[in-house]
Chains A and B, each alone.
Chain A
Amino acid sequence: MLTKRIIPCLDIKDGRTVKGVNFESLRDAGDPVELGALYAQQGADELVFLDITATNEKRKTLRELVNRISHHINIPFTVGGGISSVEDVQLLLQNGADKISVNTAAFNNPQLIRSLEKEFGSQCVVLAIDTRLEADGEWYVYLNGGRVKTETRCIDWAKKGVELGAGEILLTSMNHDGTKQGFALDITRTLATQLPVPVIASGGGGTMEHFVDVFHNAHADAALAASIFHFKEIGIPDLKQYLKEKDIEVRL
């Protein structure tokens, strides 16, 4: 059976892991390649590298990083952060990325998704959506790392993105991100049951039970988290063992 996926996310700035990590076993906790390789060895199913570099050197450092990752890591990985053109993506895929994720640039220019799908196939196009539940009871799309609100509903943009050729949706709830109070079950369930492509839930995972909830109750295909893994609050082998005991199909 196809398994549910556990995906650690690494935030990268100028080629280094940020937000901090706490692994004594690593020679260099800031090296995303070393950390990614450790997660792969522990049973992570995929990795996401999110680049938040804002300098002009971004393209070069990211390309070099992706090349190093693909030499050392034996599971699939996605690269995201500020990707806005077919050329950007070509460079990253040529250097060994399996998938790329697009967010703000795709919202501002939806045809980017279609161009990427035509050029590289939908299997490598992940549409990342940051969303927030507003007082009116609707989930809206936010851009620029959550700084800019739009009037577009999350489900509408997700459906359009899939029609344009996105092969997966990476859904982050801004209401839940960083709270460790659990994933956004309702919007995750809405997308996971209404879209014909896999949905990766992100934001709020704090306990192993939260992962059970997002798979069992919200039907997510994959769950992404960062700091709980970086600070060893939850070990990936323990998490997957726990999920298996709860009758959730995982790769052990």
Chain B
Amino acid sequence: MNIAIVKYNAGNIQSVLYALERIGVEAQVTDDTAALQAADKVIFPGVGEASSAMHYLKQRGLDEVITGLKQPVLGICLGMQLMCAYSEENNTNCLGIFEEKVKLFTPAAGSNIKVPQIGWNNIFDLQTPLFSGLPENSYCYFVHGYYAALGKHTIGKADYVQPYSASLHRDNFYGVQFHPEKSAAVGEQILRNFITKVV
């Protein structure tokens, strides 16, 4: 199988590549349009800031390449947020694959809730083969200050300040807010599911 990871200016691309290696999957890191379009599966990772990432994608025409992909695509963290309609992070219009909006966590005044959320949180109301074999309330590793609201594309939830989308799905596009590449055995199962079970 031919797996492509979208190469752009967001941080965790190597980590995703190594995580795939650990489960025995080879992948290529590329920003070449033809290579991305020819892949069987595409992973769109990301750690960083929304507006500079969108700017980078647009400059290189990668925004249209990604939205035009027909094979299964998995956005991770910022990758998933960029697949949404809009992000409050520097007021950024994103790719618009998912209609859900990305907002800043705003804990009630006086609460001791830290932003960004950093650490392991449970995911629930899990749907689609992406979560095949995983029990409800499995723990995944999250690092994010902005979140995608709940909506009709939500296929997994997490709770921090309020319930929000831990995972989104529309047609051939999937997104996860957490980092499967850093989420121990649970994350490996999700990556394996994306490679073998999502069609």
Contacts and interface: CB of A to CB of B under 8 A. Distances in A.
Interface of A: 1-3, 5, 40, 45, 70-72, 74-76, 93-96, 98, 120-124, 167-168, 192-193, 196-198, 219, 221-222, 251
Given A1-B121, A3-B120, 7 more contacts: A72-B22, A74-B19, A74-B188, A75-B182, A76-B141, A96-B18, A123-B144
Interface of B is mostly: mixed
Contact of A2 (B11, B21, B48, B160): B160
Given A1-B159, A124-B11, A221-B114, A74 B119 contact: no
A22 to B, nearest CB: 24
B15 A98 contact: yes
Nearest to A4: B119
Given A71-B18, A251-B139, A3 B119 contact: yes
A96 B15 contact: yes
A215 to B, nearest CB: 13
Interface of B: 11-12, 14-15, 18-19, 21-22, 47-49, 112, 114-122, 139, 141-144, 159-160, 179, 181-185, 187-188
12 contacts: A2-B119, A40-B184, A45-B120, A71-B22, A72-B22, A75-B184, A76-B182, A198-B114, A198-B119, A219-B112, A221-B118, A221-B119
Contacts of A193: 112
Contacts of A221: 114, 118-119
A50 B166 CA distance: 32
A167 B116 contact: yes
Nearest to B143: A123
A214 B51 CA distance: 39
Given A2-B121, A3-B120, A93-B11, A121 B48 contact: yes
A76 B182 CA distance: 6
A123 B47 contact: yes
Contact of A120 (B11, B142, B179, B188): B11
A207 B116 CA distance: 30
A74 B11 contact: no
B7 to A, nearest CB: 13
B114 A71 contact: no
B140 to A, nearest CB: 9
A94 B14 contact: yes
